[in-house]
Amino acid sequence: MHTEEREIILNPSILSADFTVLGEQLKALEACGCRWVHIDVMDGTFVPPVSFGEPVITSIRKKSGLFFDVHMMTEHPDTHIDALKKAGADLVCVHAEACTHLDRVLGAIREAGMRTGVALNPATPLSVLDYVLDKTDMVLVMTVNPGFGGQSYLPAMTGKIRALRNMLEKAGHPDIRIEVDGGINAGTLQTVLDAGADVLVMGSAVFQGDPAENFRKMQALVR
């Protein structure tokens, strides 16, 4: 698949959402064409904050038919696989830095019937992916250091996204998606698209203000 044929996914991150009205906001996003939602699970160890876990995912699953992309910013993500499946996750993205046995963890996620993602902190080289591409559906290039919404995009990550796109084409895996997460907004969107990203996580850019209105503005920029 060539870049120009690849569908671009705009993926709102609920980390910046108002949880008291999240169900309605997700419905409104769905009504304007949103298909994925990004769910940041943080354990207070891999990253400093604690966000939420399976009970919250279970609860929003009841209100939403969106594709649930779960970003696990936790140590030992393998211990959550069954619970995430039960909660309604569609894709589980684990940090390479948190997995001693990355190959085994990715195999277990697929065995549980979900898609796989491998997330890389800004300082982590692409070479950690070399022997797991056949078990990977998506690579998440962190474009900020993980843990907090509202940070600024790290410009050095543009070259990393481009290098990853080249690597995937050369390795015969052009269909593996490249997700970017952190500081994606109207000012950085074109840069990451040009570099080869096709799943764009947006927290503050969507949930600060009216999420549906913000989402439509971003859709217009992608078209």
Instruction: Based on the residue annotation, tell me whether 210 is a catalytic residue of this protein.
Output: no
> Tokens for 12?
């709102």
Given 18, 40, 103, 210, the catalytic residue: 40
CB of 114 to ligand 5RP, least distance (A): 18
Nearest to 139 by CA among 113, 107, 110, 161: 161
CB of 218 to ligand 5RP, least distance (A): 11
| Cα–Cα distance measured from residue 54 to residue 215, given in angstroms and rounded to the nearest whole number | 26
Q: Is 204 annotated as a binding residue?
A: yes
Instruction: Based on the residue annotation, tell me whether 181 is a catalytic residue of this protein.
Output: yes
Q: How far is residue 55 CA from its own chain's centroid?
A: 20
Q: Report the partner that residue 159 touches, choosing among ligand 5RP, Fe ion, none (CB closer than 5 to 8 A by kind).
A: none
Express the helix, strand and coil content of the chain in percent, nearest 5 each. 45, 20, 35
| Cα–Cα distance measured from residue 195 to residue 26, given in angstroms and rounded to the nearest whole number | 29
- Interior angle at CA 18, CA 14 and CA 22, nearest 5: 70
- Closest to ligand 5RP by CB, 10 vs 106, is 10
Q: Is 13 annotated as a binding residue?
A: yes
Q: Is 51 annotated as a binding residue?
A: no
| Cα–Cα distance measured from residue 120 to residue 126, given in angstroms and rounded to the nearest whole number | 8
- Closest to ligand 5RP by CB, 173 vs 208, is 208
CA dihedral 44, 153, 11, 172 (to 10 degrees): -100
- Closest to ligand 5RP by CB, 117 vs 147, is 147
| Cα–Cα distance measured from residue 210 to residue 159, given in angstroms and rounded to the nearest whole number | 32
- Closest to ligand 5RP by CB, 46 vs 78, is 46
Q: Report the partner that residue 80 touches, choosing among ligand 5RP, Fe ion, none (CB closer than 5 to 8 A by kind).
A: none
Contact between 151 and ligand 5RP per CB under 6 A: yes
* 120 membership: H or E segment, kind and range: strand 115-120
Given 69, 137, 181, 198, the catalytic residue: 181
Contact between 183 and ligand 5RP per CB under 6 A: yes
Contact between 15 and ligand 5RP per CB under 6 A: yes
Annotated catalytic residues are 40, 181
Q: Which residues are part of a known binding site for substrate?
A: 13, 71, 147-150, 181-183, 203-204
- What residues line the site for ligand 5RP (CB under 6 A)? 13, 15-16, 38, 40, 71, 144, 146-151, 181-184, 201-205
